[in-house]
């Protein structure tokens, strides 16, 4: 019975709530890109969604696979998941903005590759933060809360993107908005609580 007060305290801990905000922002960027990537690539290619678009859409995820294989182990060796995580999230946000603003399909595709790579790496680096400040039963409750709130970003992102596109009557507005969310996420990532 002594475990419950510490778990309840953890659920109200400002550090845990701040980490939930960071994860929510990261997940908004990730899901905003994931849900719309085929449509974005189809628009870049001037083609309907089909085999060609599917093959080109695979390129950002191949880049993400390479990045998630290389960057987190490098951060583990150098002990800088927080700083690199913030940088990767920032670069992802900038890449989303570039992909929305450029007139060049090649530049936009490269930017989408960078964004996908960063948005896959960011959560891997993020999860080193809660485990650094939480332990025992508090860790279970805190991580569950962070994950629950963070995954609401998967609900918010497509709705916000669609709303921005409709409000500004521009197919790039939503992607720019999600780029801004990633930049805010990077700032919050850099301010995340340090290990105990």
Q: Looking at residue 7, what is its pLDDT?
A: 66
Average pLDDT of the segment spanning 2-27: 80
Q: Looking at residue 72, what is its pLDDT?
A: 93
Residue 183 inside a domain? The answer is yes
- Which of the two residues, 176 and 131, has the higher pLDDT score? 176
Confidence of residue 195 (pLDDT cuts 50, 70, 90): low
Cβ-based neighbour number of residue 77 at 10 Å:
8
Residues 66-89 have pLDDT tens digits of: 999 999 999 888 888 889 999 999
Distance (Å, whole) CA 113 – CA 151: 23
Q: Looking at residue 107, what is its pLDDT?
A: 95
Q: Is the pLDDT of residue 2 over 70?
A: no
Q: Looking at residue 47, what is its pLDDT?
A: 80
The tally of domains found in the chain comes to 1
> Of 168, 147, 139, 48, which is closest to residue 56 (Cα–Cα)?
48
Q: Looking at residue 136, what is its pLDDT?
A: 77
> Of 86, 96, 102, which is closest to residue 116 (Cα–Cα)?
96
Asked whether 146 and 19 are in contact (CB, 8 A), the reply is: yes
> Of 29, 20, 26, which is closest to residue 160 (Cα–Cα)?
29
Average pLDDT of the segment spanning 157-174: 91
Residue 22 inside a domain? The answer is yes
Q: Is the pLDDT of residue 150 over 80?
A: yes
Residue ranges making up the domain that contains 148: 16-190
Q: Is the pLDDT of residue 3 over 60?
A: no
Q: Is the pLDDT of residue 9 over 80?
A: no
Residue 149 inside a domain? The answer is yes
Residues 111-144 have pLDDT tens digits of: 999 999 999 999 999 998 888 888 777 788 889 9
Average pLDDT of the segment spanning 86-107: 94
Q: Looking at residue 84, what is its pLDDT?
A: 93
Average pLDDT of the segment spanning 81-105: 93
Give Cα separations from 147 to 21, 23, 49, 138, 188 (angstroms). Answer: 10, 8, 32, 14, 16
Residue 123 inside a domain? The answer is yes
Average pLDDT of the segment spanning 154-179: 92
Residue 6 inside a domain? The answer is no
Residue 9 inside a domain? The answer is no
Residue 8 inside a domain? The answer is no
Residue 2 inside a domain? The answer is no
CATH of the domain at 88: 1.20.1250.20
């Amino acid at each position: 019975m002594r475990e419950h007060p510490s778990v309840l305290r953890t659920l109200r801990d400002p550090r845990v709530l701040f980490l939930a905000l960071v994860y929510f922002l990261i997940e908004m960027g990730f899901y905003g890109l994931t849900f719309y990537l085929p449509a974005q690539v189809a628009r870049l290619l001037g083609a309907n969604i089909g085999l060609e678009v599917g093959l080109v859409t695979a390129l950002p995820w191949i880049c993400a696979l390479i990045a998630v294989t290389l960057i987190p182990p490098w951060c583990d060796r150098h002990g800088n998941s927080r700083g690199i995580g913030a940088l990767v999230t920032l670069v992802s946000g900038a890449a989303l903005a570039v992909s929305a603003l450029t007139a060049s399909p090649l530049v936009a595709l490269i930017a989408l590759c960078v964004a996908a790579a960063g948005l896959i790496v960011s959560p891997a680096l993020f999860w080193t933060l809660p485990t650094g400040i939480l332990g025992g039963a508090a860790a279970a409750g805190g991580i569950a809360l962070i994950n629950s709130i963070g995954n609401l970003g998967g609900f918010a992102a497509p709705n916000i993107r669609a709303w921005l596109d409709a409000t500004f009557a521009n197919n790039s507005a939503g992607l720019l908005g999600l780029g801004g969310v990633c930049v805010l996420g990077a700032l919050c990532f850099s301010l995340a609580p340090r290990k105990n």
